[in-house]
Copies of this chain bind each other. A is one copy, B any other.
């Protein structure tokens, strides 16, 4: 890759010979003579003095040592990393066409330049958009529809009838469109009675499955992490909006709706019939109870257990989740309890002493 190509792709300023080529980006401490030393982060700039690399990527304004014979400078921040890594990402994908060991059932239709890898399975009447890549051993259910330019990694299971937009990336072993976890008892069960009365006053007998007739709809540019699961809806659709990125081992239960451009980190759990707005951030291991609504641009912090609606542009933490400021205050107050207990004990002694003095007083 020529330095001038990197400068162009990153909209950066080139200093030095743009015809120089690099093999790959690397941390300055690990870079070899043919690597591009990555020093966008100010803390790494000083490592350029001792790197083996001869060219570097730096933030505008960085003080580049003379050993670096050419460099590209970009706006500070991690955004340049997106363009740079995209430039160097050359994942080994199967060639377009259907691998002879793949199974494509009757009625499935594949767009131009679709690649279906070894041992993959495409169900009847599925429709797959142009240039989409189905990696080895993935499954596309009967009647599912995928847009163009998707990548479906190995072991992904797309259920029947699921609808997926364009440029969607599904990481290995993700499951899109399993049945919702939905059951009913003939008489009100333990949860119904506990909700109503606060006590367990009924037993769950005769559990009947509520089948999932609905589907899952993923918008364009969605990304779903490895081993994550998005369940189908009971009647309508579980939805993940355009541009939303979901990390590994995340669960999205039936009937929920997630807005656009959300970032949902690892092991988050979203219960049934939840509504998440746009640009919401859910940090790792957070959980959202069923039917809760989370407003646009909110941030649910790591491990928070959200039982109530969250207004737009707010931050919540804790178990149960409360606004962040209140959470921090509570944590501080709990930490101070030892001293509070001591103070109260001291006051008790002093008040008792005063009371004794008072009662011993002649006029008492």
Contact = CB atoms under 8 A, between A and B. Distances in A.
Interface of A: 24-27, 30, 38, 77-79, 81-83, 85-86, 88-89, 91-92, 99, 101, 103, 105, 117-119, 121, 123-124, 136-137, 139, 141-143, 153-155, 157, 159-160, 169, 171-173, 175, 178-179, 181, 183-186, 188, 190-191, 194, 198-200, 203-205, 207-213, 223, 225-229, 231, 234-236, 243, 245, 247-249, 251, 253, 261, 263, 265-267, 269, 271, 279, 281, 284-285, 287, 289, 296-299, 302-303, 305, 307, 313-315, 318-320, 322, 324-326, 329-331, 333-338, 340-341, 343-344, 347-348, 350-351, 354-355, 357-358, 361, 363
Contacts of A333: 334, 337-338, 341
Majority DSSP secondary structure for residues of A touching B:
loop
B347 A200 contact: no
A302 B141 CA distance: 32
Nearest to A278: B203
Contacts of A157: 153-155, 172-173, 226
22 contacts: A26-B236, A78-B184, A79-B186, A82-B208, A82-B211, A86-B209, A103-B136, A119-B137, A136-B139, A137-B139, A139-B172, A153-B157, A155-B157, A173-B173, A183-B263, A191-B281, A194-B299, A229-B249, A231-B248, A271-B302, A287-B302, A347-B351
Nearest to A307: B302
A348 B234 CA distance: 56
Copies of this chain per assembly: 3
Contact of A178 (B198, B225, B271): B225
Contacts of A117: 121
Contacts of A234: 81, 85
Residue of A82, A245, A261 ringed by the most chain B CB atoms within 10 A: A82
A227 B172 CA distance: 10
B184 A77 contact: yes
A103 to B, nearest CB: 4
A251 B253 contact: no
Contacts of A358: 354, 357
A319 B199 CA distance: 20
B265 A181 contact: yes
A58 B13 CA distance: 67
A35 to B, nearest CB: 10
A88 B319 CA distance: 40
A223 B119 CA distance: 27
Contacts of A303: 287, 305, 319
Nearest to A80: B184
B200 A30 contact: no
Given A103-B118, A266-B251, A205 B92 contact: no
